[in-house]
Each structure stands twice: as structure tokens, then as C-alpha cells.
Structure 1
Amino acid sequence: MNCNPPAFKGSEEAGKLVHWFEKLESIFRVCNCGDNDRVKYATSSLAGNAMTWWTAHAKSVGIDNSNTTPWDELKNMMVNKFCPRSQVQKLEAEFRELKVKGTDIESYTNRFLKLSTLCPEIFPTEPRRIERYIEGLPEDVQGNVIAAEKVTLDAVILMAQNLMMAKRRRALASKQVDTKSSDGKRKFEPS
């Protein structure tokens, strides 16, 4: 409890729920929290409507059974309970259409990971999430990532980030060449 787990009240927007998941998972790593204790620890930080919901659930299945709920199952239960279906449908549509804007792979990756947490049923398996992630990349990067035949989402993300950084460097180098005159001297650029 010294790690100050954030409270989740159940009245926040879907993005806040994802931040709550992320913060708790960070605490789990720092504290070496075992799989068997994660739900017990996480539910101790619930408040308001979320605590009322969890208390009712624990009474219906028994406190011991509720505390042995796997962490991923608790996350799915909370998404189903605290994210209104209309909001989830909008997020699902966004997830299906998500693409990299320009060369901003970081924003794309962060949004992709948040949406995969909030909409786990859309792309339920690792291979489907990998396919969807690749579909959102620029076409010139997609082929290279596919050819590498990476089998984990983390490996695909790392490769895509490296390719996009190389693409940025090439674009920057080409822009610098364009600012030089034919005799190799830098052109005057008015401010």
C-alpha cells in the first residue's frame, strides 16, 4: 500500500480505467506482486460505485473465489461494467480504422495498446492484434514488418518503431540535401 495505488471509482471515462490498469500493473512489477495477489491488491483500491460493484460480486461468488479471479478476467469484467456500450462501440470503430498519422508511431502505438485493452473482443488473439497493428502502419513499412515474420506484438512494435525512425532520418537527410545549392553551399533561408 506504500506504492499509493490510485483509486478507481467507476464513474470515470474509459481512458481513466486504462490508466488505472497501467498504474496497477506497474506497481505489480515494482512490488513483485504474485498473480494470486493481484486482484486482492487491485480491488483494495476501488472506491464509490466500483467498490459497491466489487462487494456485490464478492458476496455472490464468495470472497475467496472473487480473490482468485485472474487479473485479465477482472480487467475484462471492469471494462464490461464501467465502459458504456455506446462508448465501447465508438472505441471499437476507432480501433478498426486506427492508422499512423505522418510518422508519429509513438502516438499510434500508445492508442493501439489502450484500445486493445478496452476492446479485447475485437482482436482477441495475439496474431490478430499483430495483423491489426501492421494494417495501421504506412504501406512502405508494412511489407518490411510482414517479411520479418515476428511472432509477438512487442517484437512487431519494436521493428515498426525502428523502421519509422529510419524513415524520419531519411526524410530529414533528404530535406537537408534540398536546402543546399548545386555548388554544395547552403542556400540562404530567410527567417
Structure 2
Amino acid sequence: MINHNILKYNVTAYCRAMSEQVSSHMPKVGGGPQPDEVNTPNTKKVFRISHVINEDKVNYASTMFTGEALVWWEATFEALKEYDQKNLSWGMFKARLLEKYCPIDMRRRLEKEFLELKQGGMIVNEYETQFNQKAQFATKYIPTGDDKIQLFMEGLRYESTIS
């Protein structure tokens, strides 16, 4: 049985989780549950625990929308061709949600923050957390696991890389 209370969707939190500076620019979506952090480890975990298969993710997530988010999604979905409605992938759903609630300029700023991220005064665990959070917005720069490791290592302080 899927626990619907676990998936409270909040777009405002999506970008805030990636960057503290972003939250003040995100629109508030009123009325009950809101579109959530669709690309976060928590959402992935809920889908895994609830055994939500890829084909059902869009339907499951969109049932959580109310208020402004629901009106937006219904209009967006209705504008799709019948074939696209029946074959809407989770990736396309996330892309449309990001397009609406996380503007391109904000995503570019988050990509830049990721690419410029250095360990600095953070301990390695803090740096790793920041790196992984910001990496979600810069996947085009890390197409492979090796690329991700390389960027991570480049951001470490010199003395952190010596063991």
C-alpha cells in the first residue's frame, strides 16, 4: 500500500534544498500538498519502497497536486497530444515541472554553483553533501560516474587528497 502522506510535493523546497539563495525566488504554490522535490533521494526512496514502477510515477506524483499546481498540471497535460499523454515519461514530467517552477536562469545559476564548488572550509562530508545536492542540476557536466568522481576530487582541498 502506498503511503500518500509521504509524498507531499513542494516545489519551493525543491530548489531551496539545492541552494539556500534560491528559495526566496521560488513561487509559492497554495492549497494543500504541493509539487515536491521530484528528483531528490527521498522521492526516489518513496517510489522504491512503495514499488511504484516507472510507468506509474507521473500518475502517482500528479495526484498529489492541488490548487495552483493542479490547475497548471491539468492544463499542461491536456495540451499534450494523445500519444504523449499516454507515453509521458518521468523524465519529461520532471522537465516540465522544473521548467514551470525552477526557471532556466535559476538552473543555470545552480549549475554554475556546482561547477565552482570547492571544499574550502567545509569538512569532507559537508562538501560531499553540497556536491551531491548541486550535482542534480548539472547532470550534463557529469555524464559518467568517472566524470563525477573527477569533479569531486578537483573540488577537494589539497590536503584532503593526500592520504
TM-score, normalization by structure 2: 0.68
RMSD: 2.9
Q: CA deviation at 1:103?
A: 5.5
Is 1:29 matched with 2:48?
yes
Alpha-carbon distance change, 49 to 33 in structure 1, aligned in 2, over 3 angstroms: same
CA distance in structure 2 between the partners assigned to 1:107 and 1:91 by the alignment: 17
Segments ≥4 residues shifted beyond 6 Å: none
- Richer in helix (by share): 1
Is 1:81 matched with 2:71?
no
Q: CA deviation at 1:28?
A: 0.4
Unaligned runs of 5+ in 1: 145-166, 168-191
Alpha-carbon distance change, 108 to 19 in structure 1, aligned in 2, over 3 angstroms: farther
> Quick one: higher RCO (CA 8 Å, sep 6+), 1 or 2?
2
Asked if the contact 1:100/1:137 (under 8 Å) is kept, the reply is yes
CA distance in structure 1 between the partners assigned to 2:62 and 2:56 by the alignment: 10
TM-score, normalization by structure 1: 0.60
> Corresponding residue for 1:61?
80
User: SS where residue 45 of structure 1 aligns?
Assistant: coil
Residue identity (%): 23
User: SS where residue 57 of structure 2 aligns?
Assistant: helix
Query: Residue type of the partner of 1:6?
Result: K
Q: 1:134-149 residue pairs with structure 2 within 5 A?
A: 134-142=153-161
Is 1:114 matched with 2:136?
no
User: SS where residue 128 of structure 1 aligns?
Assistant: helix
Is 1:51 matched with 2:70?
yes
Q: 1:88-167 residue pairs with structure 2 within 5 A?
A: 88-102=107-121, 104-121=123-140, 123-126=141-144, 127-142=146-161
Is 1:41 matched with 2:60?
yes
Alpha-carbon distance change, 11 to 110 in structure 1, aligned in 2, over 3 angstroms: closer
* Structure with max Cα Rg: 1
CA distance in structure 2 between the partners assigned to 1:73 and 1:64 by the alignment: 14
Unaligned runs of 5+ in 2: 18-34
Alpha-carbon distance change, 48 to 37 in structure 1, aligned in 2, over 3 angstroms: same
Alpha-carbon distance change, 138 to 67 in structure 1, aligned in 2, over 3 angstroms: farther
Length, aligned pairs only? 142
Residues 75-104 of structure 1, C-alpha deviations (whole Å, 9 max, x = no match): 233222211233223212211110123462
> Corresponding residue for 1:7?
9
